[in-house]
Chain A
Amino acid sequence: MVSSPEGYTGGWTRRVGRWLPMMALLAAGIASATPQRIVSINLCADQLLMTLLPRERLISVTHLAADPTQSMMAGQARGVPVNHGRADEVVRLKPDLVVAGRYSQTQTVALLRALGIPVLELDVPSSTEQLIKQMDDLGQRLGVSQTAHIEIERFRRALDELDRSELPNRPLAALYRVNRGTEGRDTLIGELMHRAGMRNVADELGVRRWGTLPMESLLLAQPDIIIVEQSSDRQPAMAHQFLRHPALRRLLAETQTALLDSRDWSCAGPWLTRPLAQLVQTRARWSDALTEPATVQTPP
């Protein structure tokens, strides 16, 4: 930068004046550098992008997005070309921007960057605030801030509407995932449980993020509500067999149960209001059953 001998104040306006047209041009350049051809190689990115982007700018999503057993938005993904997350497929699509998951595809991401393709990595949000910030940033980066803000507003309103965290009676809820897993307060589902007015068994076990929930601990905790993850894939695996355990079946028959479809919350996005609504309903059923202790109903 050239230093002016006239002193600080006086030369400043002239300097700005000299750079103003340049900056205007730059701004226009940035605006036109808004990516037009966007490829997603991650299921969660697929779903977020399908929510925020106009169809013509999203030129490819993963094959999982179009798989009804994996994604709730399979219908929307129909007609969009699919990829399998491999660098050679991506390169042929000539994208302006690739969106990936931060921890799951490091090799592919590194390779794409080495080939000069810009990649945006999405973190896994561990709270709704982080999700909202992620949607906001995405909106800005992709030039769809308006759509993003509309979605964020809608999401916030729904969250507020469904907020039961101030209710005095807080039932103890246990989240029992496929493969005996559970999640704690520093995860999205943990926060949803809190918002639905529930206490989380994971807190008693000292689990902040992810952990195992042995069946004994589940039984001993004597939860008021059990949230079971239902996997929509019907393929046999050891992961599903714990649900057949006689002790668990007995517990499920005696306790309010919410069956959450894993497609709804395996990815973070504004659709999280659906599982939240389910949790709120379950809590309401529990609360009703307190006053009429005759029957305990589980959803069909």
Chain B
Amino acid sequence: MNASNQPASVQTPWLWPVLVTTTVALFVASLKVGSAPIPLWDLATGNAGPEAATLSLILAEIRLPRAILAVFVGGTLGLCGAVLQGLLRNPLAEPGLLGASSAGALGAVIALYFGLTATLPLALPLGGIAGAVLGIMLILFLAGRGARPSTLILAGVAVNSLAGALTALALNLAPSPFASLEIVFWMLGSLADRSFEDVTIVLPFVLLGWPILLMLRRPLEALTLGEDVASSLGFDLRHLQLRVVLATGLTVGACVSVSGNIGFVGLMVPHLLRPWVGHHPGRLVAPSALGGAALLLGADLLTRSPVLGQELKLGVVTALLGAPLFLHLLWHLRTRLL
């Protein structure tokens, strides 16, 4: 892959400063940009004029939860992308391509449209989690241990197709007449007009799952040399797989239940950041969270751009960015993969 003669493994010292600055800048931009520009400083100092109350309401109840969700969802997708790529030793692994996201969407759809959320509000993220966990287990079963990369991609295609078909079926059979129209939301994702209610749905699972994922740094480093050596270096692989399944299912499932299926973030972010961490799979994990947050904040800003007449779906923007990258990766890795 990278045959340059430079010391490829030196971690760029300005990686974290750049990531943090970018994320913070995009977060602030998310608060300011929209149908009306919000003057944050003026609002804070009380100089915002007669519209201050409305602007404050928009800021606090609409833009803030939306930006926070973008950080949680984007961060989750980036994190899980890095972890899955490290576990499966394949740069094409990510929750979207492997079907974890669409399986999560299926679980959420069943929970919502068949009335489970009426009795238990937590049923929505729990449904998403159940779906995502099953999706990942299926992928690992089909293409986990030592499978060729092309097998992995095909397994992802299979899981995606199955989950997508079952989701369409579920929406068709759902009692509500709106259901089959809402498939667009579940397949393409959106963060428009979300509230803090959605943030509280996602928060506990992010708090549970992210630490588990961040602590996978060492086992993933060991996997650089293959499963046998990693095992001989003292890392229990079954335990590792279990943690990956659980933490990825927990976080991706909860996020998808609120945002719909947003793809390609977990593919793009680790790929872009990998050269900056010297290609180390373990060192890639934490920066990918920040990178994912930044990417989704940026994509969400694009959906609100005044250039396009109407609001674009978030998944459309990430697909427009990610699919060409996917093709590029396939092209450059084709000798290795096929």
Contacts and interface: CB of A to CB of B under 8 A. Distances in A.
- Which residue of A233, A246, A250 has the most chain B CB atoms within 10 A of its CB atom? A246
Contact of B193 (A235, A237, A239, A245): A245
Contacts, number: 82
Contacts of B193: 180, 214-215, 242, 245
B203 interface: no
A247 B58 contact: yes
Given A214-B35, A237-B176, A246 B196 contact: yes
A217 to B, nearest CB: 5
Interface string B183-196: 00100000011011
B204 interface: no
A237 B310 contact: no
B118 interface: yes
5 closest A-B pairs by CB: A235-B176, A247-B61, A237-B176, A237-B178, A235-B175
Interface of B: 34-36, 51, 54, 57-58, 61-63, 112-113, 115, 117-118, 174-179, 181-182, 185, 192-193, 195-197, 310-311
Nearest to A178: B178
A246 B115 contact: no
Contact of B62 (A179, A211, A216): A216
A78 to B, nearest CB: 22
Given A235-B176, A246-B197, A211 B61 contact: no
B113 A237 contact: yes
Contacts of A215: 62, 193
B58 A216 contact: yes
10 contacts: A212-B311, A215-B62, A216-B62, A216-B63, A235-B115, A236-B112, A237-B178, A238-B185, A246-B61, A250-B61
A298 interface: no
Interface in A35-62: none
Interface string A213-252: 0111101101000000000010111110010111100110
A245 B311 contact: no
Contacts of B176: 233, 235-237, 239
Interface of A: 178-180, 211-212, 214-217, 219-220, 222, 233, 235-239, 242, 244-247, 250-251
B184 to A, nearest CB: 10
Given A236-B115, A236-B176, A245-B195, A216 B182 contact: no
Nearest to A69: B177
A244 B62 contact: no
Contacts of B195: 244-247
Contacts of A236: 112-113, 115, 117-118, 176
**Secondary structure at chain A's binding surface: helix, strand, loop or mixed?**
helix
Given A215-B193, A236-B115, A237-B182, 6 more contacts: A214-B193, A216-B35, A237-B174, A238-B185, A247-B58, A247-B195
A217 B196 contact: no
Given A214-B192, A214-B311, A219-B57, A247 B178 contact: no
Given A237-B176, A238-B185, A247-B61, A217 B35 contact: yes
A216 B177 contact: no
A216 B196 contact: no
A190 to B, nearest CB: 19
Contacts of A222: 51, 54
A219 B62 CA distance: 10
B112 A245 contact: no
B112 A247 contact: no
A235 B174 CA distance: 9
Contacts of A244: 195, 197
B310 A211 contact: yes
A250 to B, nearest CB: 7
A266 to B, nearest CB: 11
A251 B117 CA distance: 26
B311 A220 contact: no
Given A214-B311, A220-B36, A179 B57 contact: no
A62 to B, nearest CB: 13
B39 to A, nearest CB: 14
A247 B62 contact: yes
Contacts of B51: 220, 222
**Residue of A178, A212, A245 most packed against chain B (CB within 10 A):** A245
Contacts of B54: 219-220, 222
